[in-house]
Amino acid sequence: MDSPPIQRALISVSDKLGLADFAKGLAEAGVEIYSTGGTARHLRDNDLEVKDISEYTGFPEMMDGRLKTLHPKVFGGILCRHDRDDDMQAIGEHGIASFELVVVNLYPFEATVAREGVTMPEAIEQIDIGGPSLVRAAAKNHAFTTIATAPEQYASILQQVQEQGSTSFELRQQLAGAAFTRTAAYDAAISSYFQEQLGASDEVFPENVSIQLQRKAVLRYGENPHQQAAVYSDGTSSGPSLISARQLNGKELSYNNLLDLDSALSIVRSLPGSAAVVIKHNNPCGCASADELAPAVQKALDGDPVSAFGSILAFNQPVDAATAEVLSTPGLFIEAIGAPSFSPESVEILTTRPKWKNNVRLMEVGELESTKAQVAYRQIGGGMLVQEADMNPDEYDEWKVVTEAQPDDRLARELRFGWAVVRHVKSNAITVTNDLALWGAGAGQMSRVDSVEIALQKAGKRANGAVLSSDAFFPFPDSIQRAAQAGIAAIIQPGGSKRDSEVIDACNEHRLPMIFTGKRHFKH
């Protein structure tokens, strides 16, 4: 397809990064520049000759800039098809100049609504009308019109203009795709903002949902080496996360690294004191809380030393030198560590002492906040499942002791810890915990009996005096009998089975305190 020479450019931008140099290059290549308001002033301040759109259209800018480019002489020049005699005749008859290049970036709506205390009238004034219209018109007519929507696109456009006086169809098509992506994201941001402002309604799930995602990185591969993968940031989220984290050391993060780090951070957010978690295949194989981080890390690693090899770790407190010393124990291999921050001493130890010093990913995520209510999306064939994320803290005052035996203060503390951990284990989930540490976990089994057996086997002798937690009810008393044989001191579960009375009787038989939480925590 023939590429029309770029004779005129229409430039109207909010972000003026790199604009002056770009416009100077265009002018030197013989391109005539038309512009509006603040953009025209910026270009003139940089000694560029600019024609005002208002002078060209014969219609003044008005309403504080709300109306400036919405005019047939503008859109006719953008939309005309250069290979159509009737189009070119029409613009000639009506004194319309063709625009072969349009440079537009939109009002900063997203940045505006992200600021603290922004009012709705302020947000509404940052809803661009003319800009998206110009972008869509130029992108639609990309067979003849080049559209630039971001400063990083200027170099490739300018290079082609300087070399050949025009741009290639391939570049124009690529830029058109980026332009439509930008306007779609822009509209999605506005839609999300209005949904948020109208959130007082009783409808949790709106009829239509817009998800804003921007690619942050292409990953080495997905769950397996034959799968391609990337990570995207959610434009509506804020606060500490892996997406905004600073990587202090190590190789690129993989798909599985990110999944495991995210799970690890979600666990330690909800744990008391100084907490550490060891993740393997998206399940905790070690977890502990203590007064200081170093002993918590040691207990977490001791939970399942074999599985801890090649694991992912996360902490809810800054990593200090004492913690780094524990992590540098010979024979231990760690893939990645997520924490609010790392002291200089800890970074020095972790990046110089262990054999894996060059590869371990150190992810500084910032101060971990209490988890906020979120909506969780999960893709299925042909669509999405959407639910409220299971992130709210448990209400201890709703728990009921349903047995004759009552848990003492020590057991009550252990039961709370065990319940905080088991909700993060894949169902069917069973955990064995004691001394605020995870000693055994049974995860993802088709039978709850199998999960109980695995958790007790992992815990071994450490099950004696420990707490057993189950993410859902026990359908039969057989698991209670097995727990009692292993020396379990107390049990916590949601309750709700038809055979609850049989399960309670089995606990009473062994003088085992049992709590019903009334809330299930399946994690599929």
Summarize the confidence of residues 203-214 as an average pLDDT: 74
- Domain of 226, CATH number, reads 3.40.140.20
Convert the pLDDT of each residue in 212-238 to its tens digit. Answer: 788 888 998 999 999 999 998 876 666
CA dihedral 128, 129, 133, 134 (to 10 degrees): -60
Residue 327 within any structural domain of the chain: yes
374-388 burial code (b ≥16 CB/10 A, e <16):
eeeeeeeeeeeeeee
In a shared domain, residues 19 and 161: yes
In a shared domain, residues 229 and 131: no
Cβ(277)–Cβ(286) under 8 Å? yes
322 burial via Cβ count (<10 Å: 0-12, 13-18, 19+): middle
Percentage, residues of the chain above pLDDT 90: 62
In a shared domain, residues 27 and 151: yes
Give the pLDDT score at 314: 96
Question: How is residue 501 written in tokens?
Answer: 């009375």
For the chain, the domain total comes to: 3
Summarize the confidence of residues 345-354 as an average pLDDT: 95
Q: What is the full DSSP assignment across 450-513? A: HHHHHHHHHHGGGGTT-EEEESS--SSTHHHHHHHHTT--EEEE----TTHHHHHHHHHHTT--
Give the pLDDT score at 230: 94
Average pLDDT over the chain, rounded to whole?
A: 89
In a shared domain, residues 133 and 236: no
Biggest distance spanned by C-alpha atoms of the chain: 98
DSSP 396: G
Residue 29 within any structural domain of the chain: yes
Question: Can you point out the beta strands (E) in 382-436?
Answer: 383-388, 400-401, 430-434
Convert the pLDDT of each residue in 356-371 to its tens digit. Answer: 999 999 999 998 876 5
Cβ(373)–Cβ(246) under 8 Å? no
C-beta atoms surrounding 248 within 10 Å: 18
Catalytic residue, from 73, 140, 357, 519: name it: 140
Q: What is the full DSSP assignment across 170-200? A: HHHHHHHHHHHHHHHHHHHHHHHHHHHHTTT
Q: Which of these, 451, 431, 82, lies nearest to 285 by C-alpha position?
A: 431
CA–CA gap between residue 119 and residue 269 (Å, rounded): 31
Name which of 118-132, 316-330, 398-412 the model is least confident about.
118-132
Residue 383 within any structural domain of the chain: no
DSSP 62: B
In a shared domain, residues 190 and 68: yes
In a shared domain, residues 319 and 458: no
315 burial via Cβ count (<10 Å: 0-12, 13-18, 19+): buried
CA–CA gap between residue 37 and residue 137 (Å, rounded): 21
Cβ(520)–Cβ(471) under 8 Å? yes
In a shared domain, residues 340 and 252: yes
Residue 387 within any structural domain of the chain: no
Instruction: Place 450 in a pLDDT band, splitting at 50, 70 and 90.
Output: very high
Beta partners for 314?
Answer: 277, 338
Catalytic residue, from 24, 73, 82, 281: name it: 281
Residue 203 within any structural domain of the chain: no
Instruction: Place 58 in a pLDDT band, splitting at 50, 70 and 90.
Output: low
Q: Using DSSP, state whether 208 is helix, strand or coil.
A: coil
Residue 475 within any structural domain of the chain: yes
Pairing of strands 146-148, 101-105: parallel
Instruction: Report residue 440: phi and psi, to 5°.
Output: -165, 140
In a shared domain, residues 299 and 349: yes
Q: Is 82 a catalytic residue?
A: no
Summarize the confidence of residues 476-490 as an average pLDDT: 95
Residue 456 within any structural domain of the chain: yes
Predicted TM-score (pTM) of this structure: 0.77
Summarize the confidence of residues 94-108 as an average pLDDT: 88
Beta partners for 474?
Answer: none
Question: How is residue 76 written in tokens?
Answer: 């006719």
Using the structure block, give the residue that is written with the tokens 């007519």.
141
Instruction: Place 1 in a pLDDT band, splitting at 50, 70 and 90.
Output: low
In a shared domain, residues 190 and 220: no
Q: Is 281 a catalytic residue?
A: yes
Domain of residue 152: give its range.
8-194
Give the pLDDT score at 76: 86
Q: Describe the strand order of the beta sheet including 8-13 as a list of residue ranges.
A: 51-52, 32-35, 8-13, 101-105, 146-148
Compute CA distances 458 → 438, 455, 461, whole Å: 10, 5, 9
* CA atoms within 13 A of residue 2's CA, in its CB half-sphere: 6
Cβ(281)–Cβ(308) under 8 Å? no
In a shared domain, residues 40 and 185: yes
Summarize the confidence of residues 86-107 as an average pLDDT: 87
Q: What is the CA radius of gyration of the chain?
A: 31
110-146 burial code (b ≥16 CB/10 A, e <16):
bebbeeeeeeeeebeebbbebbbbbbbbbbebbbbbb
Question: How is residue 307 written in tokens?
Answer: 């599985």
Give the pLDDT score at 206: 73
Summarize the confidence of residues 32-60 as an average pLDDT: 85
CA–CA gap between residue 377 and residue 388 (Å, rounded): 9
Instruction: Place 200 in a pLDDT band, splitting at 50, 70 and 90.
Output: very low
Q: Using DSSP, state whether 126 is helix, strand or coil.
A: coil
- Domain of 132, CATH number, reads 3.40.50.1380
Residue 522 within any structural domain of the chain: no
- Listed in sequence order, the DSSP H helices in 355-470 are 409-422, 448-459
In a shared domain, residues 224 and 342: yes
In a shared domain, residues 358 and 446: no
Instruction: Place 291 in a pLDDT band, splitting at 50, 70 and 90.
Output: very high
